[in-house]
Amino acid sequence: MNKVLLNVFDENRNRFIALNNYENSHGEVSNYTIQLNTNYVNKVHKDIAKLEVLKCESEIAEKARISLLNSLQKNLNPETASAQSKAQKNAYYHVDKNVKINKTNGDIYINGMLIQKTVLINGVYPEVNSRPLTIEKNKIKKELLTSKYRQFFLRGIPELHMNGKVIKNRWLQ
């Protein structure tokens, strides 16, 4: 386990982290600034409140709003959480609410709110032909806090810069 990573997270409460040269599955390379000390459940509650009062101008937008609202409410209820999400909780060592390490291979995952993204190299994304309901859902999602919540996979990241410290990803060595 990466002891330096754990120590840095334990020492800092105002936790912002820079993920530089992060390459996603589509080949896009970007620099990110994310805030770690955020609570996803609080963001879900705020999004539910926003969706409950959102006024839609069309029938398809209203269907999209209701679908998103139902999905967020379902995710809050532990009895309706999927078996996969329950199994995933046991597959990771949870450093804190925003950092987990895979118990099998040491892969590190960091969750947080997107503050800034700078694309360095554009990726190649497939063309998508979405249905009208999906298009409406995506329009609404752009206005929700939960859409800015991200998970980053750190095996391929050589280093992290956090609060003036450089953390080497030792799983690459």
Task: Say what the pLDDT of residue 116 is.
Answer: 93
Determine whether 59 is exposed, middle or buried from the number of CB atoms within 10 Å of its CB (0-12, 13-18, 19+): exposed
| Helices and strands (H, E) in the chain, number of each type | 5, 8
Determine whether 99 is exposed, middle or buried from the number of CB atoms within 10 Å of its CB (0-12, 13-18, 19+): buried
Residues with pLDDT less than 70, the chain? 1-14, 78-87, 156-164, 167-173
CA 144/CA 27 separation, integer angstroms = 26
- Domain parsing of the chain, residue ranges: 3-172
**Closest to 22 in 3D by CA, of 173, 154, 167:** 154
The residue whose two tokens read 């509650």 is 45
pTM reported for the whole predicted model: 0.73
Task: Say what the pLDDT of residue 126 is.
Answer: 92
CA 53/CA 50 separation, integer angstroms = 6
CA 162/CA 173 separation, integer angstroms = 20
Task: Say what the pLDDT of residue 1 is.
Answer: 46
Bridge partner residues of 114 (DSSP): 34
DSSP state of 143: T
Task: Say what the pLDDT of residue 66 is.
Answer: 97
Task: Say what the pLDDT of residue 119 is.
Answer: 96
Q: Percent helix, strand and coil across the chain, each rounded to 5?
A: 40, 30, 30
**Closest to 106 in 3D by CA, of 151, 152, 150, 154:** 154
